[in-house]
Amino acid sequence: MAVLAREFQRHSGHELALSYGSTGKHYAQIVNGAPFHVLLAADAERPRRLEAKGLAVAGSRFTYAVGTLVLWSPDPSRFEDGARALAGGDFRFLAIANPQTAPYGLAAEQVMRRLGVWEAWQGRIVRGENVGQAFAYVKSGNAELGFVALSQVTGLEAIGRGALWVVPAELHEPIEQQAVLLIDGEAARAFLAFLRGEQAAAVIQAHGYAVP
């Protein structure tokens, strides 16, 4: 987002004020009157709900990125096969984002349910408010491994990626990340148009996401 904001501001002359947080938390703030102009969600459900409630501009919603879920540990010897690591339970704590508020957390729960280990490891799951917090738990060593976004691991080449399992897409629902216009305005529409362009797509893909 920092790269996208910088490029948009350089080419458009508009300025962006960014507010980071979980999709669920931002959704609640918007429902309660927060004056955001644009929402970039980590799912498709909240933008859809906002549009249905009349809190977003009808027809402005679109998918700007598709997230990739990975099981990750900074320790390269932690596992070779993520599914086997989850089945074996050779860890004290496993970090995930909160499935109730964070799309990556919901995807992680779906994966663990389909692998038949969700109930078994309830006592070992550490829940972060969002996928950023889940990543921080693993990176700091407070959890030996965790479900995070590929985009978070993409920038770690300099220190080594550690152990990484890209979760097969069939194990969870697609993590479609949608944008929606909340309050109409020239700058907001210009940013959303930029987000749908080739320059933004190249940035998004370079940071570990797919694009529609």
Q: How many separate domains does the chain show?
A: 2
Establish if 212 belongs to a structural domain.
Answer: no
Residues 160, 108, single domain; the answer is yes
Residues 96, 7, single domain; the answer is no
Residues 124, 38, single domain; the answer is no
- Taking the model in full, what pTM does it have? 0.80
* 59 CB neighbour count, 10 Å cutoff: 9
Could you please report the per-residue DSSP string of 82-126? HHHHHHHT--S-EEEE-TTT-HHHHHHHHHHHHTT-TTTTGGGEE
The CATH number for 38's domain is: 3.40.190.10
The predicted pLDDT at position 22 comes to 82
Residues 29, 113, single domain; the answer is no
**Mean pLDDT, residues 79-103 taken together:** 94
Establish if 115 belongs to a structural domain.
Answer: yes
- What residue spans of 131-185 are helical by DSSP H? 131-140, 150-154
Establish if 130 belongs to a structural domain.
Answer: yes
| CB neighbour list of residue 11: distance below 8 Å, 6 or more residues apart | 194
The predicted pLDDT at position 65 comes to 97
CA 131, CA 149: separation in Å to the nearest integer? Answer: 7
Average pLDDT, the chain: 94
What DSSP designation does 65 have? E
Establish if 141 belongs to a structural domain.
Answer: yes
Residues 33, 52, single domain; the answer is yes
Residues 93, 131, single domain; the answer is yes
- The two beta strands, 94-97 and 125-128, are parallel
Residues 35, 85, single domain; the answer is no
**Mean pLDDT, residues 132-148 taken together:** 96
| CB neighbour list of residue 103: distance below 8 Å, 6 or more residues apart | 23, 41, 42, 43, 45, 67, 97, 175, 177
Establish if 179 belongs to a structural domain.
Answer: yes
Q: Which of 125, 120, 148 is nearest to 136 (CA)?
A: 148
Residues 73, 93, single domain; the answer is yes
Establish if 211 belongs to a structural domain.
Answer: no
Establish if 80 belongs to a structural domain.
Answer: yes
Residues 60, 77, single domain; the answer is no
Establish if 20 belongs to a structural domain.
Answer: yes
Residues 78, 158, single domain; the answer is yes
The predicted pLDDT at position 158 comes to 46
pLDDT at residue 36 is higher than 90: yes
Range(s) of the domain holding residue 153: 69-166
The predicted pLDDT at position 159 comes to 47
Count CA within 13 A, CB hemisphere, residue 54: 0
Residues 73, 161, single domain; the answer is yes
pLDDT tens-place string over residues 5-19: 999 999 999 999 999
Percentage of residues in the chain having pLDDT higher than 90 = 87
Residues 36, 106, single domain; the answer is no
CB 148 within 8 A of CB 138: yes
